[in-house]
């Protein structure tokens, strides 16, 4: 009888999911975190003992080469899929909407992701998945405990939307555990990020997930408003560092073998000029404005983006239209005052993994970005102090990666490809993600 029980136990262990021996992972995205702000923190006068300690004690990248365009949603999706936007389908932050019918809607919905994610891989292997405010997570069926990133009106009423889209009962549990309201753990402020870390700690303590993803948004917001490296940006990063430290400490009480991955989606560059490309498209007859001259009523070619600009054609197979747009972009690029670094065609876009929706892609030099007012002057002062979105070839756009935990070898990984991060975390959790184009770094 004893021998039979032992035999059954061994057989059960042999058939159990690989997750039974895997380390849990907490992936914290600090939106807009520049790697040098951590690796050169002392030199820059930035007091971030948590992030600096993770870099000193674990593995780190000197920079992460990221996706085209270097904006939040495409890169966060690359972080959890290991493929570029051309494959995963999240082409930009906002959806392409030339007639503005989607009311400034973004790629919020997980069903738009065309390839398997780390959430899917963990869930499929029998693990538990948790996520708070991760981009493109609305309706993600593989996330067991989900408070997705979503807004519409950017007013308090949006909290009802987020609560309705979250896992039933989860927000109530987190509010009760932390004493915070959902509104105090949402939004783009530093206080909202701090609240979100408290929600995350409470969720890990209660549910012990195998894989947790959390997106901290405030640093990006401050860098846009005040500029990268500004006094305000440094203050925000220092406050977030303290909150991240408290989150990691609480998480490791619940999961002592936890591996922490600090990531970011992009770097940042200062902005001085807005360049009104849309006006040139209107003047060339490629865009017809409505009666109020505030938006397109009809279009043949539409710029889509900011610091780099995808140009989408209404009829991609129309050779005459493509030639007309190509000639316009060549004339604009020849004007040095406009700060255009280069114009990529379809072949160049494909080489960078950008969406095939674009027939051309205009990259500005750092310091320039596209303005959004179709009636504004061609060149005007920058509407923000800092931005991102340039081609990933610009070193200023490099993202961050810091890994720490049991089994993570200390030292520099050098510069890495963002597509390698998902396979690396899959290996740590001992799950399979064969659709990824990257390779494990450890």
Q: What is the average pLDDT value for the chain, to the nearest integer?
A: 94
pLDDT digits (tens, 9 = 90+) for 208-238: 999 999 999 999 999 999 999 999 999 999 9
Half-sphere exposure of 51 (CA within 13 A, CB side): 30
Predicted pLDDT of residue 81: 98
Say how far apart CA 341 and CA 66 lie, in whole Å. 18
Indicate if the pLDDT at residue 3 is higher than 60. no
Indicate if the pLDDT at residue 317 is higher than 70. yes
Give the bridge partners for 387, in sequence order.
Answer: 269
- Return the SS3 of 84: coil
Residue 11: pLDDT band (50, 70, 90) is very low
Indicate if the pLDDT at residue 6 is higher than 50. no
pTM: predicted TM-score of the whole model, two decimal places: 0.94
Indicate if the pLDDT at residue 67 is higher than 60. yes
If one compares 3 and 409, the residue with the highest pLDDT of the two is 409
Do 280 and 332 contact (CB within 8 A), yes or no?
A: yes
Indicate if the pLDDT at residue 17 is higher than 50. no
Residue 334: pLDDT band (50, 70, 90) is very high
Percent of the chain with pLDDT over 90: 92
Mean pLDDT value across residues 252-258: 98
Residue 195: pLDDT band (50, 70, 90) is very high
Q: Which domains does the chain have, with CATH numbers?
A: 18-267+395-429 (3.40.720.10), 273-383 (3.30.1360)
Indicate if the pLDDT at residue 390 is higher than 70. yes
pLDDT digits (tens, 9 = 90+) for 86-123: 999 999 999 999 999 999 999 999 999 999 999 999 99
**DSSP codes, 430-442:** T---TT-SS----
Residue 294: pLDDT band (50, 70, 90) is confident
Mean pLDDT value across residues 132-154: 97
- Return the SS3 of 303: strand
- Rounded to 5°, the CA angle 330-335-341 comes to 70
Residue 9: pLDDT band (50, 70, 90) is very low
Indicate if the pLDDT at residue 7 is higher than 90. no
């Amino acid at each position: 009888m004893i021998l039979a029980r032992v035999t059954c136990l061994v057989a059960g262990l042999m058939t159990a999911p690989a997750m039974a021996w895997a380390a849990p992972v907490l992936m914290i995205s600090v939106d807009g975190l520049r790697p040098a702000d951590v690796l050169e923190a002392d030199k820059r006068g930035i007091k971030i003992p948590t992030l600096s300690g993770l870099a000193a004690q674990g593995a780190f990248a000197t920079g992460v080469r990221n996706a085209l365009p270097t904006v939040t949603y495409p890169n966060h999706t690359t972080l959890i899929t290991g493929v570029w936007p051309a494959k995963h389908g999240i082409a930009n932050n906002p959806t392409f909407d030339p007639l503005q019918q989607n009311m400034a809607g973004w790629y919020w919905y997980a069903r738009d992701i065309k390839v398997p994610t780390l959430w899917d891989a963990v869930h499929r292997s029998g693990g538990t998945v948790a996520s708070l405010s991760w981009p493109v997570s609305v309706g993600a069926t593989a996330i067991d405990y989900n408070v997705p990133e979503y807004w519409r009106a950017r007013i308090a009423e949006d909290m009802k939307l987020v609560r309705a889209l979250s896992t039933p009962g989860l927000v109530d549990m987190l509010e009760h555990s932390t004493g915070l309201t959902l509104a105090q753990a949402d939004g783009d402020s530093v206080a909202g990020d701090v609240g979100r870390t408290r929600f995350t700690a409470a969720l890990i303590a209660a549910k012990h997930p195998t894989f947790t993803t959390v997106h901290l948004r405030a640093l990006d917001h401050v860098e846009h408003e005040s500029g990268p490296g500004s006094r305000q940006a440094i203050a925000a990063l220092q406050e977030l560092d303290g909150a991240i430290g408290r989150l990691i400490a609480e998480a490791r009480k619940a999961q002592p073998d936890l591996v922490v991955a600090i990531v970011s989606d992009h770097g940042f560059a200062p902005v001085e000029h807005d360049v009104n490309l849309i006006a040139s498209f209107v003047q060339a007859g490629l865009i017809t404005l409505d009666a109020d001259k505030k938006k397109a009523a009809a279009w043949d070619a539409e710029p889509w983006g900011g610091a780099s600009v995808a140009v989408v054609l209404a009829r991609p197979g129309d050779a005459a239209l493509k030639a007309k747009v190509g000639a316009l972009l060549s004339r604009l690029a020849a004007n040095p005052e406009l700060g255009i670094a280069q114009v990529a065609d379809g072949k160049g876009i494909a080489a960078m993994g950008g969406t095939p929706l674009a027939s051309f892609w205009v990259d500005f030099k750092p310091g320039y970005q596209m303005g959004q007012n179709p009636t504004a002057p061609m060149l005007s002062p920058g509407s923000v102090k800092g931005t991102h979105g340039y081609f990933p070839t610009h070193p200023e756009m490099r993202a961050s990666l810091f890994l720490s935990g049991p089994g993570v070898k200390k030292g520099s990984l050098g510069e890495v490809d963002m597509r390698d991060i998902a396979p690396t975390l899959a290996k740590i959790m001992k799950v399979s993600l064969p659709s990824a184009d990257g390779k494990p770094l450890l």
